[in-house]
Each structure stands twice: as C-alpha cells, then as structure tokens.
Amino acid sequence: MIALGVVALCSIVSFHRVNVLSSDFRLYCPHELIRLFEALKCIPATSALYIDNDLTRPGFIPQMMLAHLSRNPEKYLYYPGKTEPPEMEYYFLTAEDKTGEAPKREGIKVRDYRAYGFDGLALYRITRSQNEK
C-alpha cells in the first residue's frame, strides 16, 4: 500500500512540475539556437516558412522551432519527396549540401547561418512560376 502511495505521489509531482515550468524556450535552448529563432522571426508572418524535416542536430527540433515561431508544425514541416508547398512564394530552411533537392533549384539563397553556429544551414526564398503549379 505504501509503495502504491509513493508511486502515485511521484507521478503527481512530476506532472505538476511539467505544468508549472515556464514555457519560455529560452530557458532550455542553447544560445546558438536562440539566435537562430530570433533571426527567423524577421520573416514576415504573412510569408510561409517551411523547415526541412531532415535537419537533425542535437537540440534542433524543427517541430519545436515552428511552434515557437507561431507557425503550424503540421503544415510547414517539409518532408523531402512528400511535401509540395501550395504557395507560389515561400521560405525554406534546409541544409546547403542538399543541392539536388527540387525546392532549392527554384530558389535564391537568402541567408547563411554559419555565424550562428550552424554550418551548412541556409534559408532559401522559393518563387515558382504559374505554369509549375
């Protein structure tokens, strides 16, 4: 009976701690990632921003980035070969070494994030013509 009480108390305390913790991502993210968030906030809210799902680095979670940038992670997460953005013009955050990817062939490199501690990460602005749609 005591063991059951201890288990119940521990689970209540752990769930309570998660709900009480601040939702400010700045308390939990590395400094480089915070700088990247701030740089991506400069993209107008009216423009679409897609983040490549293949960007896997320690602490770099594309879904979390989109959520903290007030963008829908289900809509703006790019899956190579599966996602086809409906917008004629959008921004695309991906690795520079993926030069064969379809969206990058149609885009212009807007920014490089080496200075932020992310070698090989770049932001592209993709503009498609009407006949491609």
Tell me the pLDDT tens digit for each residue of 96-117.
Answer: 776 555 555 577 888 888 888 8
Q: What's the pTM value of the predicted model, to 2 decimals? A: 0.72
Residue 63 has pLDDT above 60, yes or no: yes
Q: What is the pLDDT of residue 130?
A: 66
Cβ atoms < 10 Å from Cβ of 7: 10
User: Beta-carbon neighbour count of residue 102 at 10 Å?
Assistant: 11
Q: In this predicted model, which residue has the larger pLDDT, 94 or 30? A: 94
Give me the pLDDT at residue 2, please: 92
- Section 24-28 average pLDDT: 60
pLDDT band at 3 (very low <50, low <70, confident <90, very high): very high
Neighbours of 31 (CB within 10 A): 10
DSSP 114: G
Q: What is the mean pLDDT of residues 19-34?
A: 63
On the question of pLDDT at 24 being above 70, the answer is no
CA distances from 108 to 13, 69, 92, 102 (A): 50, 22, 10, 12
